[in-house]
A and B are shown apart, each in its own frame.
Chain A
Amino acid sequence: MALLQIAEPDMAGAPHQRNIAIGIDLGTTNSLVATVKSGEATVLADIHGAKLIPSIVNYGSENLSVGTPAHRLRISDPANTLVSIKRFMGRSFADLNPEVTYPYKFVAKTGNIQINTRSGIKDPVQVSADILQYLRTVAVEAMGEEPTGVVITVPAYFDDAQRQATKHAGELAGLNVLRLLNEPTAAAIAYGLDSKNEGTFLIYDLGGGTLDVSILRLAKGVFEVLSVSGDTSLGGDDFDHRLFCHILEKSHLSQLTDEDTAQLITKAKLVKEQLATLEKVAFSAVLSNKRIVNLTITRSEYELIVLNLVKKAILPIKKALRDAKLDKDSIDEIIMVGGSTRMLAIRQAVHEFFGRAPLTSINPDEVVAIGAAIQANVLIGNKDDDWLLLDVTPLSLGVETMGGLVEKIIPRNSTIPVARAQDFTTYKDGQTAMSVHIVQGERELVKDCRSLAKFTLRGIPAMVAGQARIRITYQIDADGLLSVSAKEILSGVSSFIEVKPSYGLNDEQIGQMLHDSISYADSDMQQRMYQEALVDARAILESVEKALIADAELLNESEFTQINHACMKLKIAIEQKVTDFEAASSKVKQLVETLNQVTSDFASRRMDNAIKNAFTGKQINEIE
C-alpha cells in the first residue's frame, strides 16, 4: 500500500540520533512488526522472508522456535507447539469455550491458564513475550539498533485484564511499551492518513480470534472514536473449528490422536482460505491409523455450516451504531480489516447489512501494524504530522455495592483519558479498613461482570460510622488501563493501596492472596517498601535532572539552588547503608515529597512554555 510521504522536519541532529519506533500487531494467528523509515511505514520481514509471522511458539528441549519453523512442528508436536495464545491472555480456564479441546497439558483445569511444556510451565504472558522477543530481534536485524519504543496493538474490545497481560508481555520481552493501541484505531490511522478522507468510518476487524467493530470520525486531523463493540472470542479459529467438526461428522471419525486433530484443523484452515476464491476444494488427509480421509467441500456447504457464526459476527455492528447514536446510512465508508474478512460469507453479510459494498482494497493483514508504527513514531517525539487520536474505553467500569450489584462509575465508550471520583463512608464505628471490588462489564450483577481488582484500603482514621469521607479516584489512561487512588478527605490521609489484579483467580485464590499479603513478616514488608521507595526516588531524580538540562533558564538562581539542594539530599539518602528499613523508607519518601513540591512550579512552567511554543507553531522537541 502506497503511503503518505511524510517529510523529515528540519531538525538539528544527525539521522542516526533519531529515535526508532516500531509498531507491533500481536495477532492471534499472525504477528507483524513495522517501522517508519524516511517518512514511510513498512512491515519488516524475518530471516525466513515472512512479513506475516505465525504467532506460534514451539518449546523444544534445548531452545524455542517462533513463527514459520514453529508452524512446521504443529502437526508433529502439538503438545509443545502453542498456537493462538492470544485467546488465553487475561483469561482463566473457566472463560474458555468448553466445546474446544486443546492438545496442551494444562497444569490445572481451574484458575489461571498454565501449560506444561517440554521446557517447563508456560503461561500466556510468557508465550506472548517469547513472540514479542522474536519480533524485537527482527526489528534489530532490520534497523541495526534497538527500538526506542514500541506500540503494541490490542483488540479494541479487550478488557483491562487482557490489556494488562499484553503490557506485561511487552515488558517481559524487554520492550519499552509506549502505548497499547486499539487495532481498529490503528487501521483507521493508516487508512485515514493515506487517503486523507474525512468523515465517519466503520472499521470491521475480524481476526483469528477476535472481532472488533469501531466507529470513528476523522475530521481536521483528529481521529475520534465514537463507539466500540465486538467479541473477544469470535474469530477465524472458530470458523476453522466448525469446519473441522463438520469434516469429522461427514467422515464418521472419532477418537483422534492430538497429531491427527492438529493435522485436520490445519488443513481445514487451508480449505477455508481457499474457498474465498474457489467454489469447491478437495480435502485429503492420512491419519495416524493409516485411515484415509477424502472429501470435497463446496462453498455453499461451508457457508451453511458457519451460518450461526456469521450471524454472531454481525451483532456488534448494531451495538456500535446504537452506542454512537448513528444509523447505518451515516457511515461514509465500511473498512474491512483482518485476514478473516477475506471470507465471502462475511463480506456478503456486511454488504447485506449496509446495503452497499464494504471497502476491501486496503491490505487487511498489514494495515494494523502500519498504523501502530505511525503512532509509535509520533509518541517517541518524531511529530512529522499534525494529527491526534481520541480513543475510548470499550467496557463500563463499576464497583461492587451491597447485594452483589454493580454501580457503574465510568460508562462504556467514554473518551480516554478519563477520571472519576466516588465518595464512600464506613458502616461500623471505628472501622479502619475497607474493601473495594472493581469490575468491568455491562451487567447488573457482579457475578456476571469481569472482576478487575479487589483492594483493601487501610489506615482510615477510626471514627463514628458514616463520618469518614473516602474519595476513591479511578483513572483510565490512554492505554485503557485502570489505576486507583484513595484519600480520606476529613483527615487528609492518603492511604497506600495495593491493587491486586484478580483476573483468572477464583474467590478462594483471591482470599489467599489477600491473606498472604497481610501475613508477610513485618521486616519483609518493610524491606519491600524500602525497595519501592528507592525505585520511586531514582525515577524522580532522573526526570528532574533531565528537566534541569533542558529548561534551566525557566528558573531563577535561588529556585535552581533549592531544587539542586533537594536532589542532593535525596541522593545522599538513597546511597546510605540501611539497618532500619522502616525509618529509611520514611526518610526517602519524605525527601521525594519535598523534591516533588519544590519542582512543581517548574513543571508547570515547562508545560506552559511548551504550550506557548505549540501555539506559535514550533514543535515541542525543537526546544530541547
Chain B
Amino acid sequence: MLTHISQQNYFELFQQPEEYKLNLTQLQENLRALQKQFHPDNFASQVQEQLNQALAASSLINQAYTTLLQPLSRAIYLLQLHGIKLDLVHDTKFAPSFLFEQIEWREQISAAELEQDFDELEVIEKQLQTQSQQLELQIEQLFGAKNYTEIGELVKQLAFYSKLEQLVSNILAQM
C-alpha cells in the first residue's frame, strides 16, 4: 500500500483534478479520510514495521496536503507535473521595475519594524496579501489557458511576495 501511495502524484492521492483551482473543502475532507486510514495512531498496537510504514505514509500525506493547500507550492508542483522545473533560488532575472518595488516594500517593512509600529505592519500585511491574491488569479487563468511558460514568471513574483509576507508575519509574531 505504501508503494502505491508514493507512486501517485499529490492530486491523484487526494482525488482532485490536476488543476490550479482547488476545492478547499473537498481537500480538507479528503485529508481527514486519508489520515483516518494511515495515521500511526491507528496502528499503535501493531508491529514496528507497520508503524514505520504508517509514519512514512502519514508524513507523505501531510506533505501532499501542505503542497496542494498553499497557492504558491501548488503552482510550483503543477508546473513540475507539466515538466517545468523552476529554480527559485538561482533564477534571479526580474524586470527592474519589479525589483525596485521589492526594495520599496522591504524599506517600508524595516521602517515599521524599527518603530515597532504594529498597526502599520498589519496594513502592509494586508496589502501584500492583496498583491498575492491578484497574482494567484492571473496564475489560475493562465493554467486554465494551458499557458505554462508565462506562469513561471508570475510564480517567481508570487514567491517574492510570499517571502515578504513571511517576514512581516515573523516580525509581528515576535512583537
Contacts and interface: CB of A to CB of B under 8 A. Distances in A.
Given A415-B65, A415-B66, A607-B1, A547 B47 contact: yes
Nearest to A543: B47
Interface in B25-81: 29, 32, 35-37, 39-50, 53-56, 58-60, 62-63, 65-66
B35 A388 contact: yes
Nearest to B65: A415
B49 A543 contact: yes
B36 A222 contact: yes
A434 interface: no
A475 B41 CA distance: 16
A442 B47 contact: no
A390 B1 CA distance: 21
B7 interface: no
A611 interface: yes
A603 B40 contact: no
Given A475-B55, A611-B1, A546 B47 contact: yes
A607 B48 contact: no
Interface of B: 1-3, 29, 32, 35-37, 39-50, 53-56, 58-60, 62-63, 65-66, 169-170, 172-174
A603 B173 contact: no
A383 B38 CA distance: 15
B50 to A, nearest CB: 5
B37 A614 contact: yes
Contact of B32 (A219, A539, A544, A611): A219
A594 interface: no
A418 B170 contact: no
A397 to B, nearest CB: 14
Contacts of A621: 45
Interface residues of A, number: 48
Given A378-B44, A419-B59, A610-B43, 6 more contacts: A220-B29, A379-B44, A381-B45, A389-B39, A417-B59, A544-B47
A392 to B, nearest CB: 10
A-B pairs with the 6 shortest C-beta distances? A381-B45, A379-B44, A419-B59, A603-B49, A222-B32, A543-B47
Contacts of B65: 415
Interface string A580-624: 000000000000000000011001101110110010000011000
A380 interface: yes
A442 B55 contact: no
A224 interface: yes
A475 B59 contact: yes
Contacts of A477: 40, 55
A126 interface: no
Contact of A442 (B32, B41, B173): B173
B41 A379 contact: yes
Given A219-B32, A222-B36, A611-B1, A442 B170 contact: yes
